[in-house]
Structure 1
Amino acid sequence: MTTDSTPYRPSVVEARPLLSLLLQVSRSGHLGPLVCGMPLQPLEQILGPAHDRQRQTRPRRWRPRLHYWDDLEVLICHGMVIAFTIPTWGEELTLPTALTGWATSTQPSLLSRTEMLTALAAAGLTCHAEPRLVLDDDAEGIHVLNGGVDLVFLTEGGESRLSTLSKRRYDLDTNDHSPRQGRLPA
């Protein structure tokens, strides 16, 4: 019987749970059971009630509204998910454990542009520049074709870091206010 005396060294992706999670979202376009087009009610059954950070002075029945679960931002319109964003610009990121499967809900979140793009390339994911995502010269937008995910990188002090990962339903007509528009088939 031969044994390999070489110690196990986890890959960069295995050592960084957030990077692994972002690659999964970039590949599939969904975060665990969270997918654009799903109704709000099943999402609340999984995650519980949202943290309401916006005071609602009058009902906005037919307008999109942001709902928050820890740092996760979910845009709801007509009672369904039309977009979600994972903000990675801070030192730490807290996401619901029910979506990530992490033992602890908080992870270090600063990822460099090089680290993220190298991981995307190693995973075989196709990306292209998307200048429509950003308004500033110190920012760069990238669209990952596989999962339909958008990445925004910000440059501060000469270093470019991942700021946000977003998934949106681009096939929705924002002028169509019918309640069934864009929902997943039952």
Structure 2
Amino acid sequence: MIAIIDYGLGNIKNVQRAVQYLGYESKLTDKQSDIEQADIIILPGVGHFKDAMEAIQTRHLDIILRNIKDKPIIGICLGMQLLYDWSAEGNVEGLKLFPGNIVPITTPYPVPHLGWNNLISENISLSQDVYFVHSYQAEMSEHVIAHATYGTQIPAIVQYKHYIGIQFHPEKSGDDGLAILNQALKGGFSHD
């Protein structure tokens, strides 16, 4: 069973539909017992980093997620950013599950980074673009599996230990987005 964390901010119904379409059983939840019994945890998110962290802390989900040591946690969009140490969006600490920081997108192009963009990766072959909507980004690092170019390099898929982050919306990105989500659910990506 896949636990999709419901903390009041996020595209949870669309993520749940995508997960079910891929053939997985899922549950929208903020309950510790559900999260601890799940095989995989998805942390979705849309909105402001500080608001999201406050909602997560109010429900004690930060403590619950930090205590998960043996199963995949997949962050999607804002959920990916929440996995990191700190964000400039609100100047607040994140879950500190993933090393690095979230910073404003610095580009000559309009911000937010909104719409369709291709991914660059040696590990993933895609036939179409994927859908982004965000104003902040993770810093580039050795944990980046795929990135987008938007006047700067924007990490799009990251992986560190059993944590996977997907900056774009796989549930809104057609067949390629679903294939990437499915690969994350099956264990992740190679750094080859």
* TM-score of the superposed pair, with normalisation by structure 1: 0.27
* TM-score of the superposed pair, with normalisation by structure 2: 0.27
Structure ranking higher on relative contact order (CA contacts 8 Å, 6+ apart): 1
Higher helix share: 2
Structure (1 or 2) with the larger CA radius of gyration: 1
